[in-house]
Amino acid sequence: MNLLSIGGSDPSSGAGIQSDIKTFDLLNAHGLTVITAITGQNTSSFGMIEPVSQKILKNQLDLVISDFKIAGIKIGMVYNSEIIKTIYRELKNTKIPIVVDPIIKSTTGGLLIEKTAINDFKKFLIPLATVITPNKFEAEFLSKIKIVSKKSLQKAAQEIQNMGAKNIVITGLETKKDQISDFVLEREAQYTISGEKIPKINHGSGCNYSSSLLFSLANGKPLKEAVKFSKQFTYNSIKNAKSVGYGIDITQIKSRDVIHTELTHAVNKFVEIKNIYKNIPECQTNFVFSKKNPKSLKDILGISGRIVKTGNTVTMAGNLSYGGSKHVATALITMNKKYPEIRSAINLKYNKENITKLRKAGLLISSYDRSAEPKNVKNKDGSSVGWGVKHAIKNSEEPPDVIYHKGDFGKEPMIIIFAKTPTLIIEKISKLFI
């Protein structure tokens, strides 16, 4: 997935395009950049701003847009009217998600947009926004409404929405002593997402929020789910903020979970497979990847929802989380006990054609009969899958690539594909489309 950040360069790498690239990379997306301005700043103070020319800005946009399939765009620092109008002309017909982060001031004190450009910002960029993410100060600045109550908060959000933004998320509201909240105004709904407050000043949290929000939206998540994801992502970045200079702390994105990274990549590959929707069962699909030597379901990363059919495509409904899968994870943990090298699995729709294709492709296939399942297993919730996999591998000398069953009364037939890694799972699934 390619995500584009349009904004200013921060040499401290605390905010701006540098921060966005770090976020995109962690989330396994490829970060593209279009620079609007060069800033001089560090963790203690703000220096100069040198906006780029209209000519080089347009050239950056033209070349990036013409060469890459871009899934989403974030617009950050824009500084002057010339930059604003150029971006508008290039993006006015864009249909992909656009997150506008209205950068007015730097945490280190610099004014990041010319006062004469504010009206053009409202006129040209706010209407491009799928979501605009002002903090309280920025929302007050744009709406000219002082936020002192729930009513004034709603009024400020509505005023910004009236400028053309589809959705508004006002961040960083101190609703309670130990809470920080985000107010969301959609076209047909409004709500508040709250979380734990971390009482520290930091540099970069706004960029972490808007860039992770873009990632989630570009993956097809509904706004409410995307806001929850971004809020948790940003909370972690603030929690892990470090003093790397002599001034305020810079937010730090938690070190990469290689299991999470590989499964994310594989899920993204899976949902892009042409006609894969035809292989999603009625109970939908889960895709899992375990830690080494998993002891319980909490050691297995899966999808808290499912991969679901949406017409002729599929999408991930829910987030990746440890313990997020029950049935497919149980199948994997049973397989792993005999074959510790097997750490990934996915369930697909059963039909004779799929089994024939997989067998012709040289995959090792095993099966079990659910009608032979003992009553004590049938009556114990969650026991069937483990029993079935154990039965299917009882006499096998090497791990099967595929285990299937033809169902039972009220039980859907199923295929489970196993492999050492999610990447190898995708390779095996590709055998169905030869």
Could you read off the pLDDT of 246-268 as tens digits, one per residue? 777 777 776 557 888 789 889 98
Tell me the average pLDDT of the chain.
89
Separation between Cα atoms, residue 303 and residue 288, nearest integer Å: 7
CA 8 to mean position of chain CA atoms: 23
Q: Pull the structure tokens for residue 146.
A: 């002082």
pLDDT band at 107 (very low <50, low <70, confident <90, very high): low
Query: Which CATH fold would you assign to the domain 2-256?
Result: UDP-N-acetylmuramoyl-L-alanine:D-glutamate ligase (3.40.1190)
Q: Pull the structure tokens for residue 294.
A: 């998993």
Query: Which regions of 152-216 does DSSP assign to beta strands (E)?
Result: 167-176, 179-185, 190-196, 202-203
What mean pLDDT comes out for the span 198-225?
Answer: 84
Residue owning tokens 């492709």: 361
Domains 2-256 and 259-433 share a fold: no
Residue owning tokens 């090497």: 398
Q: Which of 283, 277, 281, 344 is nearest to 315 (CA)?
A: 277
Q: How much is the pTM?
A: 0.66
Separation between Cα atoms, residue 390 and residue 371, nearest integer Å: 15
pLDDT at 130: 96
pLDDT in tens, 5-47: 999 998 887 788 998 998 898 887 899 999 999 988 787 788 8
**DSSP characters over 269-336:** HHHTSTTGGGG--TT-B-EEEE-SS--SGGGEEEESSEEEEETTEEEEES-EEET--SHHHHHHHHHH
One-letter amino acid at 347 equals: N
pLDDT at 277: 92
Number of H helices, E strands in the chain: 14, 20
> Which CATH number is 259-433's, of 2.40.70.10, 3.30.1370.30, 3.40.225.10, 3.40.1210.10?
3.40.225.10
DSSP 372: G
CB neighbours (10 Å) of residue 263? 25
Q: Pull the structure tokens for residue 115.
A: 């006062």
Residue 381, pLDDT > 70, answer no
| In the chain, where the domains are located | 2-256, 259-433
